[in-house]
Chain A
Amino acid sequence: MLALIPLFPFIGFLVNATMGRRLSKGLSGAVACAAMIASFAVAVMGVLEIAGMPADARVIEQTVYTWIASGDLSLDMTFRLDPLGAVMVLVITGIGSLIHIYSTAYMHDEVDSEFARYFSYLNLFAAFMLVLVLGGNFVVMFVGWEGVGLCSYLLIGFWFRKQSASDAGKKAFVVNRIGDYAFVLGMLFLFTQFGTLDFARLASIASTMPVEEGVFGAISIATLMLFIGATGKSAQIPLYTWLPDAMEGPTPVSALIHAATMVTAGVYMIGRNAVLFSHAPETLFIVAVIGAATALMAGTIGLVQNDIKRVLAYSTVSQLGLMFLAMGVGAFGAGIFHLYTHAFFKALLFLGSGAVIHALHGEQDIRNMGGLKKGLPVTYWTFLIGALAIAGVPFLAGFFSKDEILYETFHEGHTLLWLVGAITSFLTATYMFRLVFLTFHGERRHDALASEPSHPSDSAPSHHLHDAPPAMALALIVLAVGSVLAGYIGVPHALGGHNQLAAWLAPSFQAGAAVPEVGGAEALSDAEAALELTLMGVSSAIAISGILLAAFVWVKRRSIADAMARRFSGLHRLLLNKYYVDEVYDAAVVNPVHVMSREALWRGFDVQVVDGAVNGAAAIVSAGSGILRRLQTGSVRTYASSMFVGVIVILGYYLWR
Chain B
Amino acid sequence: MIPLSHYLIVSAILFAIGTAGVFLRRNLITILLSIEIMLNAVNLTFIAFARQHGSVDGQIIVFFVMTVAAAEAAVGLAIVIGLFRHRESLNPDAFTLLKW
Contact = CB atoms under 8 A, between A and B. Distances in A.
A55 B87 CA distance: 117
B19 interface: yes
12 contacts: A632-B99, A633-B99, A634-B96, A634-B100, A635-B96, A636-B92, A637-B23, A637-B92, A640-B22, A640-B23, A644-B19, A644-B23
A625 to B, nearest CB: 10
A637 B22 CA distance: 8
Contacts of A629: 100
A630 B93 CA distance: 16
A634 B96 CA distance: 5
Interface in A508-531: none
B75 interface: no
Interface in A281-320: none
Given A641-B23, A644-B19, 13 more contacts: A629-B100, A632-B100, A634-B96, A634-B98, A634-B99, A634-B100, A635-B92, A635-B96, A635-B99, A636-B92, A637-B93, A640-B23, A644-B23
A632 B100 CA distance: 5
Nearest to A636: B92
Q: Chain A interface residue count: which class?
A: 10 to 19
Interface in A607-655: 629-630, 632-637, 640-641, 644
- The B interface, classified by DSSP as helix, strand, loop or mixed, is loop
Contacts of A632: 99-100
Contacts of B92: 635-637
A636 B100 contact: no
A636 B93 CA distance: 7
Contacts of A636: 92, 95
Nearest to B99: A634
A639 to B, nearest CB: 10
B97 interface: yes
A633 to B, nearest CB: 6
Given A641-B23, A644-B19, A635 B100 contact: no
A632 B98 CA distance: 9
Interface in A125-154: none
Interface in B77-100: 92-93, 95-100
A177 B95 CA distance: 76
A629 B100 CA distance: 5
A327 B19 CA distance: 102
Contacts of B100: 629-630, 632, 634
Contacts of B95: 634, 636
Contacts of B23: 637, 640-641, 644
Nearest to A640: B22
A634 B100 CA distance: 7
Nearest to A629: B100
A644 B16 CA distance: 11
A635 B93 contact: yes
A635 B93 CA distance: 6
Contacts of A634: 95-100
Contact of A633 (B22, B96, B97): B96
Interface in A229-285: none
A166 B97 CA distance: 70
Contacts of A637: 22-23, 92-93
Interface in B3-38: 19, 22-23
Interface in A49-90: none
A632 to B, nearest CB: 5
Contacts of B97: 634
Nearest to B24: A637
Interface string B26-55: 000000000000000000000000000000
Contacts of A635: 92-93, 96, 99
A636 B95 CA distance: 8
Of the candidates B19, B97, B100, the one having the most CB atoms from chain A within 10 angstroms of its own CB is B100
A645 to B, nearest CB: 11
A344 to B, nearest CB: 90
A640 B25 CA distance: 13
B6 to A, nearest CB: 20
Nearest to A633: B99
B13 to A, nearest CB: 16
A100 to B, nearest CB: 82
Interface string A492-507: 0000000000000000
Contacts of B93: 635, 637
Contacts of B22: 637, 640
